[in-house]
Amino acid sequence: MHIPDLLARISAEVADEVGKGSAADYIPALARVDTARFGMAVAELDGTVHGTGEWRQRFSVQSVSKVFTLALALAQPGGDEVWDRVGREPSGDPFNSLVQLEHEDGIPRNPFINSGALVVTDELAARGSDVTEELLSFLRKESGSPGIAVDEEVADSEAANADRNRALAYFMASYGNMRMPVPDVLAQYVRQCSIAMNCAELALSGLFLARHGVRNDGSRLLERSQAKRVNAVMLTCGTYDAAGQFAYRVGLPGKSGVSGAILAVVPGRCTVCVWSPGLDARGNSVAGVAALDRFTTLTGWSVF
């Protein structure tokens, strides 16, 4: 498979989808982004990256950060204890929904919806970590880009419009499922969502999941079974209440964010990151899902 040709073909085939959907409107800094943008990168296991379109354009990673915070939490000694505080089932509800928490003792369904990611951030913070710094240091090392940083404009915009996330965190705190003060957890959560990266950097940073837990320097972040589990939860929960549709169309573990990014993993082979800010009603990139759909169709590289 000649990946540069493949990417050129996908880019041409999804051109009609680029610009469809709308940018996330509840975070003003994201609402201003032009939806008619598209970039895609593939990172092979040896770190070779191929890209098309705006694959070097940075955007805020938003919920794609949830994959990395989960991995960092699991990598701690006794890290699997995080599963006492967050489940592993698809929610079938929007990513920022409150409803299930009341019936389920303040335990979020999974780590890839906002409530679950708030718990993971809290878990890392309670273990003494400056979560954003730890995350930045990991992402800079894996991508080889020391300049990766928080987009302060996005962070400010998101912090000023965080009532839903604040509500989620306080609600979970009322069930005893927050260890640190909510304002601290929220501040860390907002900053990690606002980290700016491009498709190549995200694809490189996710390679440990394609390599069964092994980082780009050959050291191990996760046990093989832990990496398998993160990929499994990405498949079942990574695109919120559209995870069934994503598995049906794409057939890969994937994690989306409301900036229009999606990081997908082909275990044992490569990672793919696509970015296009036009979102469907569930908050997943319209052109991004279409491009990944073409990718697995043309290559046969799905987990099924």
| Residues classed as catalytic | 63, 66, 189, 240, 258
Cα–Cα distance, 258 to 260 (Å, whole number): 5
Residue 241 interacts with ligand GLN (CB under 6 A)?
no
Concatenated DSSP letters for 247-302? HHHT-S-EEE-TTSEEEEEETTTEEEEEE---B-TTS-BHHHHHHHHHHHHHH--S
Q: What are the backbone dihedrals phi and psi of residue 94, each rounded to the nearest 5 degrees, phi first?
A: -55, 155
Instruction: Report 130-159 residues binding ligand GLN (CB under 6 A).
Output: 158
Question: Is residue 81 marked as binding?
Answer: no
Nearest to ligand GLN of 10, 86 (CB atom): 86
- Among left, alpha and beta (phi > 0; psi -120 to 50; other), residue 158 is alpha
Residue 68 interacts with ligand GLN (CB under 6 A)?
no
Instruction: Report 243-282 residues binding ligand GLN (CB under 6 A).
Output: 257-258
Question: Is residue 158 marked as binding?
Answer: yes
Question: Is residue 189 marked as binding?
Answer: yes
Question: Is residue 11 marked as binding?
Answer: no
DSSP label of 213: T
Instruction: Report 87-106 residues binding ligand GLN (CB under 6 A).
Output: 95-96
Rg of the chain taking only CA atoms, in angstroms: 17
Question: Is residue 240 marked as binding?
Answer: yes
Tokens of 280: 């469907």
Residue 121 interacts with ligand GLN (CB under 6 A)?
no
Tokens of 182: 């909510």
Closest approach of ligand GLN to the CB of residue 32, in Å: 15
Residue with tokens 């979970």: 172
Nearest to ligand GLN of 165, 216 (CB atom): 165
Residue 192 interacts with ligand GLN (CB under 6 A)?
no
Residue closest to ligand GLN, measured at CB: 63
Cα–Cα distance, 171 to 184 (Å, whole number): 15
Annotated binding site: 63, 114, 158, 165, 189, 240, 258
* List of residues contacting ligand GLN (CB under 6 A): 62-63, 95-96, 114, 158, 165, 193, 257-258, 283
Annotated binding site for substrate: 63, 114, 158, 165, 189, 240, 258
